[in-house]
């Protein structure tokens, strides 16, 4: 992991548990940089980060969320407002910010930073209704998603290792994955 982050003031990494590490950064700007640039894939897995104040017991720190830049496609112009996009983002996770492109976004999509809960399934292409608007379906893509299962929607394994994916599914080349591309 040390190779993942290189900061002028350095970073100390201490293993706390099998899958739990304490990162000590010596500069506040480095802390914000590392948090703003989530997600951090490593060795086909995802590193979940949580800033602590120092009063917590390690076992009690909830590390369940990770920042993802999400592209929402084909959002009507009337829904490309701060309020509407915040409402849409809240259907996926905790809204954090936009990418500053305003109402126009990137033309075919708008990009928002959200914190989906990693203990739940990632959101499928979504059907959303905002206020009095009609019901829309918005395809979603996640930037820098780590290994991900198209069959069950969970992070951490591919569909061939998935308990929900059967041999008969693999014989069917036209298999439609509920969470697939
Ligand atoms: Zn699976």
**Strand locations in 74-117, DSSP E?**
94-98, 109-115
Domain boundary among 23, 38, 60: 60
Cα distance between residue 146 and residue 156, in whole Å: 7
The reported pLDDT for the residue numbered 15 is: 92
Closest CA to 142 of 49, 46, 1, 34: 46
Cα distance between residue 95 and residue 114, in whole Å: 5
* Together in a domain, 132 and 87: yes
Q: Ligand 1 centroid vs 148 CA: distance in angstroms? A: 8
The reported pLDDT for the residue numbered 96 is: 84
Q: Residue 153 sits in which domain range?
A: 147-181
Q: Ligand 1 centroid vs 35 CA: distance in angstroms? A: 28
Q: Ligand 1 centroid vs 178 CA: distance in angstroms? A: 11
* Together in a domain, 126 and 108: yes
The DSSP letter of residue 119 is: T
Q: Ligand 1 centroid vs 180 CA: distance in angstroms? A: 11
- Report the alpha-carbon angle 153-162-48, nearest 5: 55
Q: Ligand 1 centroid vs 40 CA: distance in angstroms? A: 21
Record the tokens describing residue 105, joined without a space: 């976004």
Indicate whether 100 belongs to any domain. yes
The reported pLDDT for the residue numbered 126 is: 65
pLDDT tens, residue order, the chain (181 aa): 666 777 767 788 899 998 899 999 888 888 888 888 888 878 777 888 889 988 999 888 888 888 888 888 888 888 888 888 888 888 788 888 877 676 677 788 888 888 887 776 666 656 666 677 778 888 888 887 777 788 887 777 778 888 877 766 555 555 677 776 6
Q: Is 86 helix (H, G, I), strand (E, B) or coil?
A: helix
């Amino acid at each position: 992991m040390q190779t993942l982050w290189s900061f002028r003031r350095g970073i100390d990494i201490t293993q706390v548990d099998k899958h739990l590490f304490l990162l000590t950064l010596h500069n506040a700007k480095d802390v914000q940089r590392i948090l703003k640039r989530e997600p951090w894939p490593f060795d086909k897995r995802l590193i979940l980060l949580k800033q602590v104040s120092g009063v917590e017991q390690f076992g009690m720190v909830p590390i369940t969320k990770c920042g993802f830049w999400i592209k929402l496609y084909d959002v009507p112009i009337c829904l490309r407002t701060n309020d509407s996009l915040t409402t849409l983002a809240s259907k996926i996770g905790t809204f954090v910010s936009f990418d500053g492109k305003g109402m126009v976004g990137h033309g075919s999509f708008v990009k928002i930073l959200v914190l989906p809960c990693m203990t739940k399934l990632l959101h499928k292409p979504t059907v959303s209704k905002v206020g009095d608007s009609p019901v829309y379906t918005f395809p979603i893509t996640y930037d820098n998603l780590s290994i991900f299962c198209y069959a069950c929607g969970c992070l951490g394994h591919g569909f061939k290792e998935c308990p929900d994916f059967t041999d008969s599914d693999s014989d069917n080349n036209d298999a439609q994955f509920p969470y697939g591309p």
